[in-house]
């Protein structure tokens, strides 16, 4: 009888194990993949973001929005939504610049002419690092929520310089867009 009870117990465990639902397969690991060429990425993220930062040179993001103001500045653009307006808009734009530095370094992204983004070129890497660094400076400035025309003017100059570093070598080329992303020789001294 003991054997029979033992067999029943074993059979019950086996039956329970066989009826156990199968585990769902683990989802595939996410792989960062570019979805647009470099020009489209730049048009989509850092161009509008930098314009919000440049706007802060002449318009205090913390100033109240004037009724009927549709100028599109950082205060007016999303005036009714605090998380997207004023200083938050400037901070969000700064984060966008920092994230753009990450996005341009995703392998496989192409330039508008079909050439691969020059990820291994030291100037390209330095340009991405500078974009991230100036984005962090603007973010810190925006978090202080204190408008200072001279300070924001200096920061927007740095934003412009970070962009120009790569634009001069890879974008503003003699035969654009055909030769974009092709390192250009240094300009002759004048």
Give CA–CA dist 46/10, Å, rounded: 65
What's the predicted TM-score (pTM) here? 0.77
HSE on the CB side for 94, CA within 13 Å?
22
Per residue in 129-156, pLDDT (tens digit) is 999 999 999 999 999 999 999 999 999 9
Give CA–CA dist 1/113, Å, rounded: 82
Query: Low-confidence residues of the chain, pLDDT below 50?
Result: 189-190
CB–CB of 87/61 below 8 Å?
A: yes
CA angle 97–91–43, rounded 5-degree value = 35
Per residue in 111-136, pLDDT (tens digit) is 988 989 999 999 999 999 999 999 99
DSSP letter string, the chain: -HHHHHHHHHHHHHHHHHTSPPPPPPPPPP-----S-HHHHHHHTHHHHHHHHHHTTTS-TTSPPPTT--S--TTTTTTT-GGGSHHHHHHHHHHHHHHHHHHTTSTT-B-TTSPBP-TT-HHHHHHHHHHHHHHHHHHHHHHHT---HHHHHHHHHHHHHHHHHHIIIIIS-TTTTTTTTSPPPPPPP-
């Amino acid at each position: 009888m003991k054997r029979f009870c033992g067999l029943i117990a074993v059979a019950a465990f086996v039956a329970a194990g066989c009826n156990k639902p199968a585990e769902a397969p683990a989802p595939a690991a996410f792989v960062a993949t570019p979805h647009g060429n470099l020009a489209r990425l730049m048009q989509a993220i850092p161009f509008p973001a930098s314009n919000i930062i440049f706007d802060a040179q002449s318009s205090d993001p913390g100033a109240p929005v004037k009724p009927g103001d549709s100028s599109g500045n950082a205060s007016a653009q999303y005036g009714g939504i605090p998380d997207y307006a004023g200083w938050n808009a400037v901070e969000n734009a700064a984060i966008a610049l920092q994230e753009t530095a990450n996005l341009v370094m995703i392998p496989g992204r192409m330039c508008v002419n079909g050439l691969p983004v020059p990820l291994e070129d030291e100037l390209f890497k330095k340009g991405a690092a500078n974009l991230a660094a100036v984005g962090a400076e603007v973010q810190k400035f925006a978090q202080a929520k204190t408008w200072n025309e001279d300070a924001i003017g200096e920061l927007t100059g740095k934003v412009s310089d970070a962009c120009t570093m790569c634009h001069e070598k890879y974008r503003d080329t003699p035969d654009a867009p055909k030769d974009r992303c092709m390192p250009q020789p240094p300009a002759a001294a004048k």
